[in-house]
């Protein structure tokens, strides 16, 4: 069950993000990457296979979520946000906008960047910087089949469910694994950590850190 849809207030969300004291992490031998939280409209149809569809276009706030292509060497078939390595000379924002264009053919300008959330260090050797970008209605999303199997619009209200987040422990992890329920399934960190911090900081205005949450073992490679 989803909560009531939040007000789609880009100006307020931008102010909260720009006021957020981002926690940056050092490389420590890890590779740098960026992901995009693409803020859009809910549109029509089912967000995920097990969520109810609606025939008319919905303007409630939503985020674009992708399922990674089956042929990728790492994390094939997993739920993700558009993103990838930060190239030499790029900022996290540059990389986020480039990956957004490469993966789903959306090309908002630099003014569409609302702000950053906290860096997250993965078990697979990356430091990821999440960047929130307003992409408008995004009616012409074109997934790159080499990287993206499908693109889904997840209403922001789904992130506000009373049963979110889910925290549990796995053997060998010092801190709990964070998962976010979507429909009748869940998504794990690191993607879940970005969704949860977006909910807390941007939508609800609550200071919340997430870098300490762990990932399930299938994401450790």
Assign 1 a pLDDT band (cuts: 50, 70, 90).
Answer: very low
- Whether the CB-CB separation of 115 and 132 falls below 8 Å is answered with yes
Q: What is the pLDDT of residues 82-121, one digit of tens each?
A: 999 999 999 999 999 999 999 999 999 999 999 999 999 9
CB 177, CB 188: distance < 8 Å: yes
- Given its phi and psi angles, is residue 28 left (phi above 0), alpha (psi -120 to 50 degrees) or beta? left
For residue 218, the model assigns a pLDDT of 66
- Per-residue model confidence (pLDDT) at position 2: 44
Contact 159, 206 (CB under 8 A): no
- How far does Cα 17 stand from its chain's mean position? 15
Q: How far is CA 60 from CA 41, 80, 158, in A?
A: 6, 21, 11
Query: CA 111 to CA 133: how far, in whole Å?
Result: 9
Provide, rounded to the nearest whole percent, the portion of the chain with pLDDT above 70. Answer: 87
CB 47 within 8 A of CB 154: yes
Q: 57 vs 53, which has greater pLDDT?
A: 57
Looking at the chain, how many residues does it have?
Answer: 221
Token pair recorded at residue 1: 């069950």
Overall average pLDDT of the 1-11 stretch: 67
Q: Tally the C-alpha atoms within 13 A of residue 123's C-alpha that lie toward its C-beta.
A: 20
Q: What top-level class would CATH report for the domain 10-156? A: alpha beta
Question: Taking residues 35-62, what's their average pLDDT?
Answer: 81
Which pTM does this prediction carry?
Answer: 0.91
DSSP, res 214: B
Q: How far apart are CA 127 and CA 31, in angstroms?
A: 6
- Which residue in this structure is represented by tokens 């860096």? 119
Run of H or E residues at 166: strand 166-168
* Per-residue model confidence as pLDDT tens digits over 154-202: 999 999 999 999 998 877 778 899 999 998 889 999 999 999 999 999 9
CA separation for the pair 41, 147 (Å, rounded): 23
Q: Is the pLDDT of residue 51 over 80?
A: no
């Amino acid at each position: 069950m989803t909560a009531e849809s939040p007000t789609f207030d880009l100006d307020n969300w931008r102010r909260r993000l720009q006021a957020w004291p981002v926690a940056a992490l050092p490389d420590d031998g890890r590779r740098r990457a960026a992901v995009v939280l693409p803020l859009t409209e809910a549109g029509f149809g089912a967000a995920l296979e097990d969520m109810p569809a609606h025939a008319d276009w919905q303007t409630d706030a939503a985020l674009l979520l992708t399922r990674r292509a089956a042929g990728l060497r790492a994390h094939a078939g997993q739920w993700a946000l558009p993103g990838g390595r930060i190239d030499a000379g790029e900022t996290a924002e540059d990389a986020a906008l480039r990956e957004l264009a490469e993966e789903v053919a959306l090309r908002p300008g630099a003014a569409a960047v609302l702000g950053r959330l906290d860096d997250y260090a993965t078990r697979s050797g990356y430091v990821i910087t999440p960047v929130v970008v307003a992409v408008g209605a995004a009616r012409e999303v074109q997934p790159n089949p080499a990287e993206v199997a499908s693109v889904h619009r997840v209403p922001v209200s789904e992130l506000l469910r009373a049963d979110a987040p889910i925290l549990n422990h796995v053997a060998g992890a010092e801190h709990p694994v964070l998962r976010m329920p979507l429909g009748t399934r869940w998504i794990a960190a690191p993607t879940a950590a970005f969704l949860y911090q977006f909910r807390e900081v941007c939508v609800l205005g609550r200071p919340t850190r997430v870098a300490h949450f762990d990932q399930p073992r299938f994401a450790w490679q």
